[in-house]
């Protein structure tokens, strides 16, 4: 089972074992990760699951679709490492993935 690390804005790390196929948003919500809200339930219409992917991991993810990039324009302080957690599905190859939760 892959382990995903969420880093809060204050630097506190939270490592969570994740079943394959769940999104980073779903994993965060089901484990009470502060700062991940997921208002739209994962249909990519709110950007409240915005995360910053660790630079070491960003290139290992499938590239974002244009619709995700468009939605990220509504996120607070997006960067080149920004992704929507609802669009990243856990798989074995992502074991050790690190994401940072933006300040809200």
**Pair of tokens at residue 49:** 């699951």
Query: pLDDT above 90 covers what percent of the chain?
Result: 95
| Element containing residue 76 per DSSP (H, E) | none
- Is residue 3 packed enough to be buried (19+ CB in 10 Å), middle (13-18) or exposed (0-12)? middle
pLDDT at 37: 95
Helices (H), the chain: 24-30, 55-58, 66-72
Q: pTM for the whole thing?
A: 0.95
- Mean pLDDT on 28-56: 95
Q: Give tens-digit pLDDT for 58-104.
A: 999 999 999 999 999 999 999 999 999 999 999 999 999 999 999 97
Q: How many CB atoms lie within 10 A of CB 31?
A: 14
Q: What is the CATH number of domain 3-100?
A: 3.10.20.30
């Amino acid at each position: 089972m892959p382990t995903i690390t969420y880093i809060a804005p204050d630097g506190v790390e939270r490592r969570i074992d994740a079943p394959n196929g769940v999104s980073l948003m779903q994993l965060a919500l089901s484990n009470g990760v502060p700062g991940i809200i997921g208002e739209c339930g994962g249909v990519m219409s709110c950007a409240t699951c915005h995360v910053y992917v660790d630079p070491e991991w960003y290139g290992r993810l499938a590239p974002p679709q244009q619709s995700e990039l468009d939605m990220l324009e509504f996120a607070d302080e997006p960067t080149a490492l920004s992704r929507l957690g609802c669009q990243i599905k856990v798989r074995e190859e992502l074991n050790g993935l690190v994401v940072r939760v933006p300040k809200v």
